[in-house]
Chain A
Amino acid sequence: MNFNFFKKHEAVSSQETNPTEEIKNTTEPETSPEEEISPERVEALTEYENTVKEIASLKESDLKDEIENPEERIALSEKLTLLQKISETVKDHAPELAIAAVGLGSLAIGLAQEGNLDLANSAVMSAEKITAMVASAVTAFSAVFSSILWSYKNYTKEQEVKDSFKIDNSSHAIAA
């Protein structure tokens, strides 16, 4: 499995930001074409790393104020903790598949929140498939993903309750 996703980027970044280093390396063997990194990828990785850094630096006080419901606020704090764990995972291991699974798990939560349960279930299934692929490679990841799934299932459950309530209301409306 290729875990050099970010290491390659670091190498390219250091060359870009330190011209003297680049000059020193001119005597080293040339990088093979398949290892070259496009400027677009470097830009995408820089943006990704910046986002991860921003998430890692978030605090409880950065959470939305308008959320007064204590349970919802706890859920958001958990999300924040998860995102910070993702950041740590990226920093320590850079396992792109694990990141993909976490991303899909998070996406599932978002979709479930919007009531798009079919798509949310698809996202979870995809995430579970990826998780199975990387389970042996990233031990810390499984705990993070379990937490995400737990959050997702809670959202789904709440959404189902809300949906059933809506149906009850509409049937009352028809009856009336």
Chain B
Amino acid sequence: MLEIAEKIKNQTATEEEVTEFTKGLTALLSGIKKDITK
């Protein structure tokens, strides 16, 4: 995750990496949401 974030910052991330990064963020946020909601 951190490696991809650095690549995005340097604008060297590939399309696949950005997609993977986005999916990772979604998983993190939805996981937290599940933890705290009914």
Name the residue on A nearest B25 (C-beta).
A103
Main secondary structure on B side of the interface with A: helix
- Please name all residues of chain A whose beta carbon is closer than 8 Å to the beta carbon of B30 when the two chains form the complex: 51
Residues on the A chain within 8 Å of B28, using CB: 103, 106-107
Instruction: Please count how many residues in chain B sit with their CB below 8 Å of the partner chain's CB atoms.
Output: 27
Contact B29 A55 (CB under 8 A): yes
Number of interface residues of A (CB under 8 A): 40
Write out the residue numbers on chain A whose beta carbons fall within 8 Å of the beta carbon of B33. Answer: 51, 54-55, 58, 83
Which residues between 1 and 38 of chain B lie within 8 Å of chain A, taking CB atoms? 1-2, 5-6, 8-9, 11, 15-16, 18-19, 21-26, 28-33, 35-38
Q: A45-B22, A51-B26, A63-B38 are in contact. Are A96 and B32 (CB under 8 A)?
A: no
Q: Is there an interface contact between A106 and B22, defined as CB atoms closer than 8 Å?
A: no
- Whether A44 lies near B26 (C-beta < 8 A) is yes
Once the chains bind, are A63 and B2 in contact (CB under 8 Å)? Answer: no
Looking at A12-20, A35-43, A155-163, A167-175, the stretch in contact with chain B turns out to be: A35-43
A100 sits at the interface (CB 8 A): yes
Query: Are A110 and B25 in contact, CB atoms less than 8 angstroms apart?
Result: no
| Inter-chain contact A99/B2, CB cutoff 8 Å | no
Partner of A110, one of B6, B11, B22, B32: B32
What residues make up the interface of A, taking CB atoms closer than 8 Å to B? 1-2, 5, 36-38, 40-41, 44-45, 47-48, 51-52, 54-55, 58, 62-65, 76, 79-80, 83, 86, 96-97, 99-100, 103-104, 106-107, 109-110, 126, 129-130, 133
